Structure formats: structure tokens, C-alpha cells
Amino acid sequence: MPIDVAPGTVVVFTDVVCAWSTVALHRFYTARARLGLDDAVRVDHRLFLLEDVNRFAIPRGMVDAEIPVVGQLEPSLGLSPWQGEPSAWPVTGLPADEAVHAAKEQSADAAEQLDMALRLAFFRDSRCISMVHEVVDVARGCDLVDADAVAAALDDGRARGAMMAGYRAHRDDVQGSPHFFLADGSDVHNPGVAMHPDEAGGYPVVDSDDPSVYDDLVRRAAGQRG
């Protein structure tokens, strides 16, 4: 199935518990605001479910090893290794992802705001976003989100079917999280970052990082050239 991207929209396949996409989305939003295109470009959040792709739960050791590498790309985000009790570690991101897709039924702005709030709740504040009450509490801190509607959607599952159908339909089209798709037919995985796993532990080593690519990405999403 083709990935349908509406004009003025960028489709981003990602997972709330992906630190790389947290940095990528932050950079996209920052570039969009700097260019004065907040009203011209919206992010359409789509799911790329890492726990399903990898066939294992969110790995604390891997995430804690990634964070010092990813976090230094955007220090202002305050990403840090897990500070909570070991027993409070979230083993799944699915409720958080589902909440973002429930918020998308309200508006793209609501989905954008809740998505980033949930990411920071996990990566910065060490909150267990596997728990529905934590997800809803995060939603209550978002002024663009109707948290009661998100809670109701999590109870009846109204957002999960479409979310999972989109993931299943496009899983093989997506290289990883994050993967951006534009209306002009172009796409890019983890923009601006080149990396490789280190030989000893398989942890990421950043070879190059160019945040300036987001200006061009935002302009192209807005239908601008040059």
C-alpha cells in the first residue's frame, strides 16, 4: 500500500519510546517555528512498533546506553538514563502510542503535544508510561488535549485498530524510527544523523550529525523549494 501524505503534512513513523525520534521531532518542530511555518505544516504520527519489530520488551540496558549518546545531540531536552525504581521500568510503549493516536482524533496539534509530553515523561522524568493512569496524567498536563477523551479511547480501544492496521500495512516500507515521508514522494530515515554500532557492545556511535537538514525538510513539507 502506498503511504498517503497530504499536502502540508509530514508523515512520521515512530515509537514514543524511541530516543532518536524524540530528538528528530524536537528538531523538526524547532525548525518549523524558526521558519514561521507552524500553521503550514503538521506532523501525522504513525506507529512503528519497536517492541514488535524487535520481538522483545523495551530493553533498559540498551536504552540507558543510548541516552548519553542521543541526549548530547539536544541537551536542552534533558534526556537521562532511568532514575526510577527498577520495578517501575515500562516494558511496553503501546499504551502511550495508542494515546497519541487517540489524541490525533482530536487534532494534529493535540497529537504532537501529547506525543512529546509522553516522550519527556519517559526519557526525562522516568515515568512508567506503560501504565494507563500515568499516560492520562501526562495528557492532563497538555492544554491542547482532552484527557478525558483520551482516557475513554484507551478504555474502549477505538484508536488501536487503525493504528495497528497502519503499522502492519507499512512495516516493510519503514527503515526504522524515525522515518519521515513527504507529499512530494521523498522520504528520509533519521534525518541528518549517520551512526554505527560500536564493536564491543553494539551501542551507537554517531559519525556525523547535521541538524540543519531540518530546515529543508520543513520547507519541502510546506511545499516550498530552495
* pLDDT tens digits along 48-80: 999 999 999 999 998 998 999 999 999 999 999
- pLDDT at residue number 203: 78
Please name every residue paired with 226 in a beta bridge, in sequence order, or none if there are none.
none
- pLDDT at residue number 225: 73
This prediction has a pTM of: 0.96
β-strand 204-209 against 187-189: which pairing, if any? unpaired
Percent of the chain topping pLDDT 70: 98
- pLDDT at residue number 226: 57
Please name every residue paired with 197 in a beta bridge, in sequence order, or none if there are none.
204
- pLDDT at residue number 197: 80
| C-alpha cell recorded at residue 37 | 511555518
* pLDDT tens digits along 77-130: 999 999 999 999 999 999 999 999 999 999 999 999 999 999 999 999 999 999
| Average pLDDT, integer, range 140-168 | 98
- pLDDT at residue number 196: 87
Cβ-based neighbour number of residue 72 at 10 Å: 12
- pLDDT at residue number 201: 64
| Average pLDDT, integer, range 6-24 | 97
Q: How far apart are CA 88 and CA 83, in angstroms?
A: 10
* Residue matched to cell numbers 504532537: 112
End-to-end CA distance of the chain: 30
- pLDDT at residue number 86: 95
| Average pLDDT, integer, range 210-216 | 97
Average pLDDT, the chain: 95
Residue 202 has pLDDT above 70, yes or no: no
Q: How far apart are CA 153 and CA 47, in angstroms?
A: 17
